């Protein structure tokens, strides 16, 4: 039987999702906890590989247990061995053809930015920060240019290993909530650093360092060197992974802040 898990984590103290020689990947930590429940080594596959400092509320993984355990054991038992920054939220049996990554049809991220003269304290690590005042309407206008299917070469990391830079961005929203700005993006897939690079470019637009039309210019340039620097990972969170019917997995809770 193949099992899918819903996993959430605060990525601040980890070296990203993927297994690391240091053992500080979230994958390492989860596999070690599952192994203590299973009584042997377990390998998990995730829907997305988040970077160092990036969080997740809606990560989905799958694994093939070699022993039979009640589903509650994969949740409560595993959580008993996990750091408090990581939690398994649910466990669901899935068919042998289900693949957390390859079966996914969409991924959604949110980036929370604190826009104020003084850096955040309580939410340090959970939100990005910029002290320069931002014009939200300019950012909203620029974000609309990114929706649709495009070559996102200008927004991918130089180390991105994806075979194609083409992605379909179905949502790119910017909204203001007091001193906070929320960026919400959904696509059929994301390139390495793509969300952080988009956020960085939109911040340049909002601060007046780039015109609203710059987003189209960057898309057409297809050159990472023409775009602003990659923004901080602190406020980035994987919020949801979408799957086609009849795959029906529990939905993650919405983010509680601000």
Q: Which of 86, 103, 120 is the last residue of a domain?
A: 103
Catalytic residue among 28, 51, 141, 234: 51
CATH number at residue 225: 3.30.70.660
Q: Is residue 247 part of a domain?
A: no
Q: Per-residue DSSP letters for 65-102?
A: -SS---HHIIIIIHHTTS-TTEEEEEEEEE-TT--TTT
Identify which of 257, 251, 255 has the alpha carbon closest to the alpha carbon of residue 59.
251
180 and 92 inside one domain: no
110 and 235 inside one domain: yes
33 and 66 inside one domain: yes
Query: What is the pLDDT, as a whole number, of residue 70?
Result: 97
If one counts the domains in the chain, the total is 2
Q: Is residue 253 part of a domain?
A: no
Q: Per-residue DSSP letters for 98-148?
A: --TTTT--EEEEEEEEEESSS--STTBTTBEEE-S---HHHHHHHHHTT-E
Q: Is residue 114 part of a domain?
A: yes
78 and 17 inside one domain: yes
Would you call 51 a catalytic residue per the annotation?
yes
The answer to whether the CB of 182 falls within 8 A of the CB of 256 is: no
Cα–Cα dist 152/106, whole Å: 16
110 and 213 inside one domain: yes
Query: What is the pLDDT, as a whole number, of residue 131?
Result: 97
| Mean pLDDT for the stretch of residues 47-57 | 96
pLDDT digits (tens, 9 = 90+) for 101-114: 999 999 999 999 99
33 and 134 inside one domain: no
- Mean per-residue pLDDT of the chain: 96
Q: Kindly report whether the global pTM for this prediction surpasses the value 0.85.
A: yes
Question: pLDDT confidence of 55, banded at 50, 70, 90?
Answer: very high
150 and 222 inside one domain: yes
Range of the domain at 80: 2-103
pLDDT digits (tens, 9 = 90+) for 159-175: 898 999 999 999 999 99
Helices and strands: H and E segment counts in the chain: 6, 10
pLDDT digits (tens, 9 = 90+) for 6-34: 999 999 999 999 999 988 999 999 999 99
CATH number at residue 51: 3.30.70.580
């Amino acid at each position: 039987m193949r099992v899918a898990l819903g996993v959430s984590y605060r990525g601040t103290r980890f070296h990203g999702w993927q297994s690391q020689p240091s053992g500080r990947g979230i994958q390492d930590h989860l596999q070690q906890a599952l192994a203590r429940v299973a009584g042997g080594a377990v390998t998990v596959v995730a829907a997305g590989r988040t970077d160092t400092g990036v969080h997740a509320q809606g990560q989905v993984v799958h694994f093939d247990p070699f022993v039979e355990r009640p589903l509650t054991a994969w949740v409560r038992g595993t959580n008993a061995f996990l750091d408090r920054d990581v939690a398994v939220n649910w466990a669901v049996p899935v068919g042998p053809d289900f693949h957390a990554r390859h079966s996914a049809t969409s991924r959604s991220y949110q980036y929370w930015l604190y826009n104020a003269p003084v850096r955040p304290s309580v939410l340090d690590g959970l939100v990005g920060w910029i002290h320069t005042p931002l014009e939200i309407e300019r950012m909203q206008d620029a974000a609309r240019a990114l929706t649709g299917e495009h070559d996102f070469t200008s927004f991918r990391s130089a180390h991105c290993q994806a075979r194609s830079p083409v992605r379909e961005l179905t949502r790119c929203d910017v909204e203001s909530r007091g001193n906070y700005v929320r960026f919400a993006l959904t696509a059929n897939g994301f390139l390495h650093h793509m969300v952080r690079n988009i956020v960085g470019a939109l911040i340049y637009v909002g601060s007046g360092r780039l015109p609203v039309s710059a987003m189209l210019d960057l898309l057409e340039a297809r050159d990472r060197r023409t775009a602003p620097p990659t923004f901080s990972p602190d406020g980035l969170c994987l919020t949801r992974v979408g799957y086609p019917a009849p795959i029906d997995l529990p939905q993650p809770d919405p983010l509680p802040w601000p």
